[in-house]
Amino acid sequence: MPSLSQTTSAIASTAAILVISSFIMPLFNSNKLPVEGRLVVVTGGSQGMGLSVAKLLASKGANVAIIARNREKLDRAVGEIRASAAKEEQRFIAVSADLTGASEARRALEEIRTWGGAPDIVWTCAGEAFPGFFKDQDVQLLEKQVQTNYLSVLWTAHAALNIMTQSPLPPQSPKRHLIFTSSVMAFYPLAGYNAYTPSKAAIRSLADGLRQECHLYNIAVRVCFPGTIYSPGFETEQLMKPEITKILEGSDEGQSPDEVAKQCVKRLEKGHALAVSSFMGETLRAASWGASPRGSWVWDTIFAWIINVVWLFMGPVMDSEVVKYRKKKGDGAFYSAPPKGA
Ligand SMILES: NC(=O)C1=CN([C@@H]2O[C@H](COP(=O)(O)OP(=O)(O)OC[C@H]3O[C@@H](n4cnc5c(N)ncnc54)[C@H](OP(=O)(O)O)[C@@H]3O)[C@@H](O)[C@H]2O)C=CC1
Ligand SMILES: CCCCCCCCCCCCCCCC(=O)[C@@H](N)CO
From residue 35, give the alpha-carbon distance in Å to each of 48, 103, 115, 122, 176.
21, 28, 18, 11, 10
Q: Does 307 reside within a domain?
A: yes
Same domain, 267 and 317: no
Residue 21: what pLDDT?
Answer: 62
CA distance 223 to 202: 11
Q: How far is the CA of 262 from the centre of ligand 2 (A)?
A: 19
Whether 176 maps to a domain, the answer reads yes
Instruction: Tell me the mean pLDDT in the region 250-274.
Output: 98
- The verdict on 203 and 242 lying in the same domain is yes
Report the atom number in ligand 1 closest to the C-alpha of 196: 45
CB 32 within 8 A of CB 269: yes
C-alpha span between 304 and 289 (Å, rounded): 8
Cα–Cα nearest to 199, from 100, 324, 276, 287: 100
For residue 245, is pLDDT > 70? yes
CATH number at residue 53: 3.40.50.720
2 or 119: which leads in pLDDT: 119
Burial of 219 (0-12, 13-18, 19+ CB in 10 A): buried
pTM of the model: 0.94
CA–centroid distance, residue 186 to ligand 2 (Å) = 9
Q: Which ligand neighbours the alpha carbon of 287 most closely?
A: 2
Distance CA 323, CA 59 (A): 48
pLDDT at 286: 98
Interatomic CA distance for residues 111 and 95, integer angstroms: 8
pLDDT band for position 171 (cuts 50, 70, 90) = confident
Are both 306 and 186 inside the same structural domain?
Answer: no
Answer yes or no: is 25 within a domain.
Answer: no
Is residue 10 assigned to a domain? Answer: no
Q: What is the mean pLDDT of residues 11-25?
A: 65
Mean pLDDT in residue range 281-305: 98
- Percentage of residues of the chain with pLDDT beyond 90: 89
Q: Cα 309 to the chain's mean position, in Å?
A: 26
Q: How far is the CA of 301 from the centre of ligand 1 (A)?
A: 32
Reported as a single tens digit per residue, the pLDDT across 51-105 is 999 999 999 999 999 999 999 999 999 999 999 999 999 999 999 999 999 999 9
Would you call 34 helix, strand, or coil by DSSP? coil
Report CA(126)–ligand 1 centroid distance (Å).
4
- Nearest of 267, 268, 311 to residue 287 by alpha carbon: 311
131 CB near ligand 1 (under 6 Å): no
- Pair (313, 226) in one structural domain: no
Mean pLDDT, rounded, for 184-212? 98
Cα radius of gyration rounded to whole Å, the chain: 22
Q: Which residues contact 153 (CB under 8 A, 6 or more apart)?
A: 124, 180, 203, 206
Q: What is the pLDDT of residue 27?
A: 57
Does 308 share its domain with 270? no
The verdict on 325 and 185 lying in the same domain is no
Residues 207 and 153: beta-carbon distance below 8 Å: no
CA nearest ligand 1 atom 5, residue:
229
Per-chain mean pLDDT for the chain: 95
Minimal-distance CA residue to ligand 2 atom 5: 251
Asked if residue 258 has its Cβ within 6 Å of ligand 1, the reply is: no
Of 125, 182, 185, 321, the residue with max ligand 2 atoms within 8 A of its CB, to mutate for a pocket test, comes to: 185
- pLDDT tens for residues 101-133? 999 999 999 999 999 999 999 999 999 999 999
Whether residues 249 and 173 share a domain: the answer is yes
Let me know whether 137 and 245 are in one domain.
yes
Question: Average pLDDT, stretch 186-197?
Answer: 98
Decide whether any atom of ligand 1 lies within 6 Å of the 224 Cβ. Answer: no
321 plus 222 within the same structural domain? no
153 CA to middle of ligand 2, Å? 21
The domain in which residue 246 lies consists of 31-286
Structural domain count, the chain: 2
Res 187 pLDDT > 80: yes
Co-location of 219 and 308 in the same domain = no
| CA-proximal residue: ligand 1, atom 14 (nearest) | 233
Minimum CA distance residue for ligand 1 atom 46? 183
Are 68 and 96 in contact by the 8 Å Cβ rule? The answer is: yes
The answer to whether position 341 is within a domain reads: no
ipTM (interface predicted TM): 0.99
Q: Are residues 100 and 246 in the same domain?
A: yes
* Within-domain flag for 6: no
Residues labelled as active-site residues: 196, 200
Per-residue pLDDT for 17 more than 70?
no
